[in-house]
Amino acid sequence: GDSVTQMEGPVTLSEEAFLTINCTYTATGYPSLFWYVQYPGEGLQLLLKATKADDKGSNKGFEATYRKETTSFHLEKGSVQVSDSAVYFCALSDYGGSQGNLIFGKGTKLSVKP
Amino acid sequence: KAGVTQTPRYLIKTRGQQVTLSCSPISGHRSVSWYQQTPGQGLQFLFEYFSETQRNKGNFPGRFSGRQFSNSRSEMNVSTLELGDSALYLCASSSLPGTGNTGELFFGEGSRLTVL
């Protein structure tokens, strides 16, 4: 079945460092891909999305490109801030699938130190 | 536009009790999904409802049940609570494919259940 694999955390960075969180997926069709972020004590918020190959999603300085050839959707940010500390989830759409409409990776916890 | 609203935000129960959690989706959204989030298992899909019908169900025991009302509000119930049911329960709403939806889910802040 469809699945999402993302790098294990936690990831600890200093402020203004470059961030990459790797995400790869397995899917039989052509899913949409998402990055969600969860701040402490809150639900999940959509960070960015891409709906077809070579699309680049971007928001709040974060970017991810839908790479069909490598089945990847890595999250990047050029200069992280303390306020970016959160858990990041990669996900793909699976309409009507038995795992729900979105299949999530395990999450990567990011801690940014001042 | 109001977001997804979940109540209660926090609750404490003891083993053997039952609990009901409520979710009000974004206005116009007719699909509601429920997820359980724990540190060990991550996000696990519970079930999804559309137009008062359960469309999909995850791999959870029958103690976990849900329903959806005609106004799209949804409830989930867990009976005979176990310690392992302690988790953050997240509700999410969406419109369905064919309406311009790309599969995105909109999440509430969750209901944190502690079972003692």
pLDDT tens digits for range B100-114 = 556 688 999 999 999
With an 8 Å Cβ cutoff, are B33 and A101 in contact? yes
Of A44, A49, A107, the CB nearest to B102: A49
In percent, how much of chain A has pLDDT > 90? Answer: 74
Task: List, for residues B65-108, the tens digit of each pLDDT value.
Answer: 999 999 999 999 999 999 999 999 999 998 765 555 566 889 99
pLDDT of residue A28: 83
pLDDT of residue A2: 84
- Burial label for B40, CB within 10 Å (0-12, 13-18, 19+), is exposed
Of A31, A32, A101, the CB nearest to B48: A101
With an 8 Å Cβ cutoff, are B31 and A101 in contact? yes
Are the CB atoms for A61 and A81 separated by under 8 Å? Answer: no
Are the CB atoms for A47 and A63 separated by under 8 Å? Answer: no
Residues of chain B found within 8 Å of residue A101, distances taken between Cβ atoms: 31, 33, 48, 56, 94, 103, 105
Q: With cut-offs at 50, 70 and 90, classify the pLDDT of residue A48.
A: very high
Q: Residue A92 above 80 pLDDT?
A: yes
pLDDT of residue A100: 63
Are the CB atoms for A102 and A91 separated by under 8 Å? Answer: yes
Q: With cut-offs at 50, 70 and 90, classify the pLDDT of residue A8.
A: confident
Q: Residue A97 above 70 pLDDT?
A: no
Residues of chain B found within 8 Å of residue A96, distances taken between Cβ atoms: 55-56
Q: Residue A95 above 70 pLDDT?
A: no
With an 8 Å Cβ cutoff, are A97 and B94 in contact? no
With an 8 Å Cβ cutoff, are A31 and B107 in contact? no
